[in-house]
Amino acid sequence: MLIQILGMGCAKCQKLEERTRKAAEELKLDCQVEKVKDLQQIMAFGVMVTPALVVDGIVKMAGRVPMIEEIKKLLAK
C-alpha cells in the first residue's frame, strides 16, 4: 500500500502527514507513507486544493485535514 500526502508545506499538510502516519501505525498497516511536495506531481493527481490524501494512486480526500479516526476509515477501505 502506498500512501501519499500531497502538500506544499503549510501547517495543514504537515498535520495531515502526522495524523496519517499515526493512523497507519495504529492500524498496523504494511505501507509506505510519502509526502509529495512537487507542484507538477500534485496537479497530475487532479488535485487543486491541498492538502490531499492519496492511497494507491486514488485520491481519497482533498481540501481538509480529517481526524485520525476518519483517516483510519479511509485507509481501511
Active-site amino acid positions: 10, 13
Please list every residue from 8 through 27 that binds other proteins, using CB under 8 A. Answer: 8-10, 12-13
- Among residues 42, 53, 71, 75, the one that binds other proteins under rule CB under 8 A: 42
Smallest distance from other proteins to CB 77, Å:
12
Size of the chain in residues: 77
Answer left, alpha or beta for residue 5, where phi above 0 means left and psi between -120 and 50 means alpha: beta
Smallest distance from other proteins to CB 18, Å:
14
Of the pair 23, 47, the CB lying nearest other proteins is at 47
Long-range contacts of 37-40 (CB under 8 A, 24+ apart): 37/7, 37/8, 37/9, 39/8
Residue 58 binds other proteins (CB under 8 A): yes
Contact 55, 75 (CB under 8 A): yes
